[in-house]
Structure 1
Amino acid sequence: MACYDICRPCGPTPLANSCNEPCALQCQDSRVIINPSPVLVTLPGPIMTSFPQSTA
């Protein structure tokens, strides 16, 4: 039985294009969907947040 892995290769990709897409492993007439675990992407630099302050 020959199985073909039709997943896209994961390599050095931009931050917006992480390798978190479901892969499909197709074996003849059957198909198995493999859902990868979530990928945590850490962006460099400070996170700018603003909180509304009301001095009433």
Structure 2
Amino acid sequence: MSCYTPCRPCQPCGPTPLANSCNEPCVRQGQDSTVIIEPSPVVVTLPGPILSSFPQNTVVGSST
């Protein structure tokens, strides 16, 4: 975390590999902007023919 000192208020540390470790304190300083990731509602749409063929197959199988 030697990069923490030169990375004052969210300034880019440069193309050095330490830039990744320097981005952590910079991001933590900017906690005012909170990003809330809400899970989108997952709608599973089953094709009609497969749904309607299931009860038909069971009815045909039980009536045989």
More helix by percentage: 2
Q: Which has the higher contact order (CA 8 A, sep 6+)?
A: 1
TM-score (normalised: structure 1): 0.31
More strand by percentage: 1
TM-score (normalised: structure 2): 0.29
